[in-house]
Structure 1
Amino acid sequence: MIGMLDDDFEYFYQRAGFGPRLDAVSPSQHQIESYRRKLPSKLLSYWDTYGFAGYRQGLFWMTDPDEYAEVLNAWIYGTRFYRQDEYSVVGRTAFGKLMVWGRRTGFSLNIHCPLGIIFPHEDSIEMSDEEGDFQVETWLSGMQKSMLDLPDVDERPLFERCLSLLGPLGREEMYGFVPALAMGGSKRLDRMQRVNAVEHLMFLAQLTEPTVMLDINKEAGRLGL
């Protein structure tokens, strides 16, 4: 049993059922320090204590942003987000949903790569050190299996069935549709394969321009709600 750094990680790991940790890789202290002003201190503490690893049998992965920098650039290039903030991919799902932190805007982007959709979510909160740590703590403690899974064409969650049919993922792998949905593929279990995550996400980025959804928070602020 690994030690619990705080109550939020304990809730995520034990009570929410995301443990045990899989395929952990420890970042160097140099890498941690290189992100000191880009990411919240709480997230860097989690890196230092637990490394980059998978959880909930590989449904969720806490990622090394360096490994996904080119992927992120490929997905936001040509959108209004490109160079709008200093973004880092800090988490992903088994199906290639990327969770993106902005230095100024916090957890402001979710990129659903298999669907080719970007969901922006920007709060009008000054990103203080305390607010950044709070967002990271609530990100983990509020994580639920249902929000990470992917439904098939019949709205049935895929992860457990992929795990049973295809086997567990390594840290560099994901479950991907073959052929990709943008190429006419179908959201069916028999169309899923274990693929290299970075290579597959780069491939998906070349297939279509992403659809950027309405930022509900920003729109509500514009309307004075």
Structure 2
Amino acid sequence: MDEYLEGFLEDWGEPTQRIEADEAVLAQLAPSVPPLLINYWRHLGFSVFKDGLMSLCNPLEWKPLIDEWIKGTELEQLDVFIPVMKGVYGEFELLGIHYGFSPLLMTLDGGFIGDREYPECSLETCIKSLFMIQPDKFFPSTDREDFLDVFHRHAPFGPQEMLGYVPALPLGGSRDYAKLQKVDAFAYLSMLRQITGELKGVMEYADIYK
């Protein structure tokens, strides 16, 4: 176990739901993903942390859904992406398996945040940086206490569950945390992609603060 993996466990604690990564699954993934990621999955599995605030993704399960969201976007031209982490609010930390791009897919907002420039670091360093992510990253930036109230009311969340607005925002739902419900992530996000128009695309992180 390297220092980055140790740091990850210091920040996140032990899984609240341990889901082992089957060796047959890792063998299937090994030809197409970096060895370091296989090693991390072997240690961490595809487990759930902090009652479902974040779950590690099995790409064999989640990539078809992520491909639905990426199709036709700028990301298709940058790299081949797999989902690495899923937040309870429907966001995904992605990894470009060739160059190390790490955009954030924000499904509820219908867009991506990331850098267009090719990473200057090695692919292994990009993976290590991704596993330095802090739990705060998976909370909304506003009204955190209200969000926490809703989160704790519905927790724990399984690896295939999330909080979704009901009705969904594109169907006239309001961004009111009281409207958040525990939903099946696969069904909800597939439905959401079908009713979400053109995605906002990749933005430079600096654009957020303009």
Q: TM-score, normalised by structure 1?
A: 0.81
Q: What is the deviation of 1:193?
A: 0.4
CA contact (8 A) 1:65 1:88 kept: yes
1:206 aligns with 2:194: yes
Unaligned runs of 5+ in 1: 218-225
Partners of 2:202 and 2:96 lie apart in 1 by 17
Write the mapping of 1:119-198 to structure 2, written as runs, cut at 5 A. 119-125=113-119, 131-141=122-132, 143-151=133-141, 155-157=142-144, 159-198=147-186
Report how many residues are paired.
204
Which residue in 2 is equivalent to 1:70?
64
1:99 aligns with 2:93: yes
Out of 103, 109, 124, which is 1:109 matched to?
103
4+ aligned runs moved over 4 Å, structure 1: none
Give deviations 1:100-144, integer Å, cap 9, x for gaps: 1112231332110011111232443477xxx22222222222x22
Partners of 1:78 and 1:39 lie apart in 2 by 23
CA contact (8 A) 2:112 2:203 kept: no
Partners of 1:126 and 1:103 lie apart in 2 by 14
Out of 51, 68, 75, which is 1:81 matched to?
75
Q: Name the aligned partner's letter for residue 40 of structure 2.
A: Y
Q: TM-score, normalised by structure 2?
A: 0.86
Distance 1:84 1:133, change over 3 A: closer
Question: Comparing 40-49 with 157-166, which one deviates more in the overlay?
Answer: 157-166
Which residue in 2 is equivalent to 1:223?
none
Question: Comparing 132-141 with 208-217, which one deviates more in the overlay?
Answer: 208-217
Which residue in 2 is equivalent to 1:58?
52
Unaligned runs of 5+ in 2: none
Which residue in 2 is equivalent to 1:221?
none
CA contact (8 A) 1:161 1:189 kept: no
Partners of 1:73 and 1:138 lie apart in 2 by 23
CA contact (8 A) 2:57 2:85 kept: yes
Give deviations 1:60-87, integer Å, cap 9, x for gaps: 1111011112211111112233365322
CA contact (8 A) 1:105 1:123 kept: no
Give deviations 1:26-58, integer Å, cap 9, x for gaps: 223232133224322222111112210111221
1:11 aligns with 2:2: no
CA contact (8 A) 1:120 1:212 kept: no
Q: What is the deviation of 1:187?
A: 1.9
CA contact (8 A) 2:75 2:202 kept: no
CA contact (8 A) 1:109 1:120 kept: yes
Distance 1:49 1:73, change over 3 A: same
CA contact (8 A) 1:105 1:122 kept: no
Q: CA RMSD in A?
A: 2.1
Partners of 2:131 and 2:55 lie apart in 1 by 11
